[in-house]
């Protein structure tokens, strides 16, 4: 799966699950909390949805990578890395 496909799926999750209206405003550089307004509960739900949709277990990721997930690009890059490790 290419990063562009992952970005599209992640964007869909943000738009549909969190009713984020500005689909065209979701960019790789978008900060999950500051730009997209996800709070800690939203982030937990987002993580579960990402794990489900991509069939990955984020608990198996490097803890440093998980702690540094700030932007959409960070999420896309981590998903890409985890998918390709399988």
Looking at the chain, the number of H-run helices and the number of E-run strands are 4, 0
Instruction: Give the residue-averaged pLDDT of 23-47.
Output: 91
pLDDT tens profile 53-79: 999 999 888 888 888 899 999 999 999
Residues 6+ apart with CB under 8 A from 53: 9, 13
**H or E element in which residue 37 lies:** none
Structurally, the chain folds into a number of domains equal to: 1
Q: Measured between alpha carbons, how far is residue 3 from residues 38, 41, 79 in Å?
A: 22, 26, 9
Instruction: Give the range among 1-5, 6-10, 60-64 with minimum mean pLDDT.
Output: 60-64
What CATH number does residue 49 fall under?
A: 1.10.1200.10
Domain that holds residue 71: 3-85
b/e per residue 9-34 (b: at least 16 CB within 10 A): bbbebbbeebebeeeeebeeebebee
**Helix 72-85 vs helix 40-54: crossing angle, to nearest 10:** 30
């Amino acid at each position: 799966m290419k990063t562009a496909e992952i970005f599209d799926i992640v964007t869909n999750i943000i738009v549909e699950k969190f009713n984020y209206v500005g689909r065209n405003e979701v960019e790789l550089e978008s900060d999950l909390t500051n730009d997209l307004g996800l709070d800690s509960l939203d982030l937990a739900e987002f993580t579960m949805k990402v794990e489900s949709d991509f069939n990955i277990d984020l608990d198996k990721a490097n803890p440093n990578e998980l702690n540094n997930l700030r932007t959409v690009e960070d999420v896309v890059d981590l998903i890409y890395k985890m998918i390709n490790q399988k």
